[in-house]
Amino acid sequence: MAHPVLRAGFSAVLLTFGLFAFALPAEAAPASTVVTCGQSITTSIRLANDLVNCPGDGLVIGADHITLDFAGHSVTGVNAPGSEGIADDGHAGIAVTHGTIADFFLNGIGLRDAPGSVVSHMTIRTIGAGGEGIASAGVLVKDSPNTSVSDSTVMNDVVAFQSDGVDVLGSPYTVIARNQLTKNAWDGMFVYQSPSTSVIDNTLDGNQNQGIEVNRGSDEALLAGNHAADNVSNGLVVGAISDARVQGNTLTRNGQAGLFMFDLLNSQVSNNQAHGNGIGIDLEGGQNGSTGNHITTNNTSRNAFVGLLVENGANDNRVAGNVSNSNQGSPGNGGGILVFSAVDNTVRGNVTNLNLSVGIGVFENNPGDSTGNVVADNVANSNDFHGIYAAAAGTVDGGGNIAHHNMPPPECIGVVCG
């Protein structure tokens, strides 16, 4: 997999020819430079001053392969229509680092046709206030493959139509890592038509819509080690893509689902922790179906309704080795693991104990719309609406299921439990 081109220079480069080694001199540090609002930057610089209340753009990138080191300084605007803190249109290999940007209207940093660029150690605040019908972002990465955004904080806690933390559009092989994307006025992060993007170890809390949404055309995305809590809608949304890996994320107290997926193909969803959400993990068929996915070794316990839900055309998926205990949906209306109006899924080797509704349920909305689901080798103890309720026509008893101390009797319906 390709990676962003990071342009942190080496102190020296050794070129070896035979037995001889030659050391090139270290690249000189950028000069400290006094800047003015709207200035075009054409060489690497270190800011020597703050910019306050810029009436338009803060700074404009005017050349390829330059570093803009804020050196701890800040660039602020007055929320002027169309304004950006840093505007880059068509210049590659830009590095923006170590500073603060606030109070611009369109984007904090706008990278357009700027491949191989780097944003790191930035603080970006209050972008996009107002703006009916206008989409804003702390960092926009558009048509800029192999770019990275890391170790930065974006908090657009404003009243806005839509102000995201980071947007990645049409930019494959982008890496978004170790950022704090919190309290933004829409999504913490949005990724669209950007295959092989990696979203790693970010904190995405308290956003007004989703923590992360990775959508159409972003195949082979990696979402790993992220923490998404207290988002109004969902913690993570992954949809209309294939061959994604969603691994090791922690998803807590999100209003709808910790992880919501739709139109998802041949993807791996594993080792995620989803607690205190409306639904822990929700795989839905969407418009074209979700098939070939492996949902394994997740913990979806202590959610308000259902721990793990496979529904509405999510067919031929594997749900195995998950733990889904103590979910709070009322009897007949929730549970540990539910399959609803979906066919040919395998539910194997899961543990579903102490749920206020069913441990494992296979339900149909219309006769025959939940056939061929295999239920095997699961443990379902001490649930309040049977251990396993699999009365949907065509359910396959794969054997090896265990259920004890469930209420009301019998322990299982539709499969035999030991």
Please name which of 298, 415, 275, 400 lies closest in space to residue 358, comparing C-alpha atoms. Answer: 415
pLDDT at residue 132 in the model: 76
Contact 49, 74 (CB under 8 A): no
Neighbours of 35 (CB within 10 A): 18
Q: How far out from the chain centre does Cα 83 lie?
A: 27
Q: What is the mean pLDDT of residues 360-388?
A: 97
Residue 21 to residues 16, 26, 95, Cα–Cα distance (Å): 5, 15, 30
Q: What is the mean pLDDT of residues 6-12?
A: 28
Please name which of 345, 353, 348 lies closest in space to residue 392, comparing C-alpha atoms. Answer: 345
Tens digits of residue pLDDT in 271-314 = 999 999 999 999 999 999 999 999 999 999 999 999 999 999 99
Tens digits of residue pLDDT in 175-213 = 999 999 999 999 999 999 999 999 999 999 999 999 999
- Which amino acid makes up residue 134? I
Contact 353, 388 (CB under 8 A): no
CATH topology classification for 129-413: Pectate Lyase C-like (2.160.20)
Percentage of residues in the chain having pLDDT higher than 70:
93
- How far apart (Å, rounded) are the C-alpha atoms in residues 20 and 15? 8
Tens digits of residue pLDDT in 236-272 = 999 999 999 999 999 999 999 999 999 999 999 999 9
Confidence of residue 30 (pLDDT cuts 50, 70, 90): confident
Tens digits of residue pLDDT in 219-235 = 999 999 999 999 999 99
- How far apart (Å, rounded) are the C-alpha atoms in residues 221 and 326? 31
Contact 300, 308 (CB under 8 A): yes
Please name which of 197, 207, 241 lies closest in space to residue 227, comparing C-alpha atoms. Answer: 207
15's tokens: 């070129």
Confidence of residue 332 (pLDDT cuts 50, 70, 90): confident
- How far apart (Å, rounded) are the C-alpha atoms in residues 234 and 290? 18
- In the numeric block, the tokens 């693991």 are attached to 337
Exposure b/e, 129-164, CB count within 10 A at least 16 = b: bebeeebbbbbbbbebbbbbbbbbbbbbbbebebbb
Confidence of residue 20 (pLDDT cuts 50, 70, 90): very low
- Which amino acid makes up residue 100? T
Contact 401, 393 (CB under 8 A): no
> Does 6 score more than 80 pLDDT?
no
